[in-house]
């Protein structure tokens, strides 16, 4: 009999979680980016971590880069250029102080993710995106693709990373 209230509570929790995920507009892969036609990949939040970055200055962001299985395999094997089908997602948040952690430290030294800023997606398809070195790009804010003017800057921005197949992010190995 004690199991029934526990199962009911667990079931209610699962329903609430499912409803909250459905309500999040930034998780829907509906809208394609201009120029490239890239969409938000389904299930990206379950992908593996490639690396994290902290952008200071005007950005003041924490960023996490995730990869699908093809991208992760290429990173682990040190394979360049990335194979077709590799997808890299960069999630960007404002960096904010962690009040809870900083109370323990007695000073401001811990930071966590704040409000989401945007998501960037790179898709490798050497035939479809031949004009941009095999990469398609997408930038999304609140689940909506950014405008064409921003997407026109994606490939030129990545040219300095040509030696790493136009990808800035390096794999963060763990020993």
pLDDT (tens digit per residue) in 127-160: 999 999 999 999 999 999 999 999 999 999 999 9
CATH number of the domain to which 68 belongs: 3.50.70.20
Q: Is residue 35 part of a domain?
A: yes
Q: Is residue 70 part of a domain?
A: yes
**pLDDT tens digits for range 76-104:** 999 999 999 999 999 999 999 999 999 99
DSSP 107: S
Residue at token pair 């682990």: 76
Contact 140, 26 (CB under 8 A): yes
Q: Is residue 6 part of a domain?
A: no
Segments forming the whole domain that contains residue 83 = 27-164
Span of 8-17, 60-69, 166-175 with lowest mean pLDDT: 8-17
Distance of CA 64 to the CA centre of its chain: 6
Domain count, the chain: 1
* 20 pLDDT above the threshold of 60: no
Dihedrals φ, ψ of 91, to 5°? -105, 130
Q: Is residue 21 part of a domain?
A: no
Q: Is residue 116 part of a domain?
A: yes
**Mean pLDDT across the chain, nearest whole number?**
87
Q: Is residue 11 part of a domain?
A: no
Q: Which residues of 96-135 are buried (b: 16+ CB within 10 A; e: fewer)?
A: eeeeeeeeeeeeeeebebeeebbbbbbbbbeeebeebbbb
Query: What confidence tier does 175 reach under pLDDT thresholds 50, 70, 90?
Result: confident
Q: Is residue 174 part of a domain?
A: no
Q: Is residue 7 part of a domain?
A: no
């Amino acid at each position: 009999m004690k199991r029934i209230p526990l199962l009911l509570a667990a079931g209610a929790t699962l329903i609430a979680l499912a409803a909250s995920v459905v309500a999040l507009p930034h998780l829907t892969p509906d809208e394609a980016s201009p120029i490239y036609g890239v969409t938000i990949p389904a299930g990206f939040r379950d992908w593996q971590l490639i690396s994290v970055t902290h952008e200071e200055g005007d950005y003041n962001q924490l960023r996490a880069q995730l990869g699908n299985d093809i991208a992760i395999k290429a990173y682990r094997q040190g394979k360049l250029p990335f194979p077709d089908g590799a997808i890299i997602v960069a999630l960007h948040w404002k960096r904010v102080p962690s009040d809870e952690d900083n109370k323990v430290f007695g000073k401001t030294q811990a930071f966590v993710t704040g409000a989401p800023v945007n998501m960037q997606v790179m898709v490798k398809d050497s035939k479809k995106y031949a004009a941009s070195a095999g990469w398609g790009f997408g930038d999304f804010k609140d689940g909506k693709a950014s405008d064409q003017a921003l997407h026109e800057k994606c490939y030129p921005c990545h040219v300095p990373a040509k030696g790493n197949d136009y990808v800035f992010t390096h794999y963060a190995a763990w020993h």
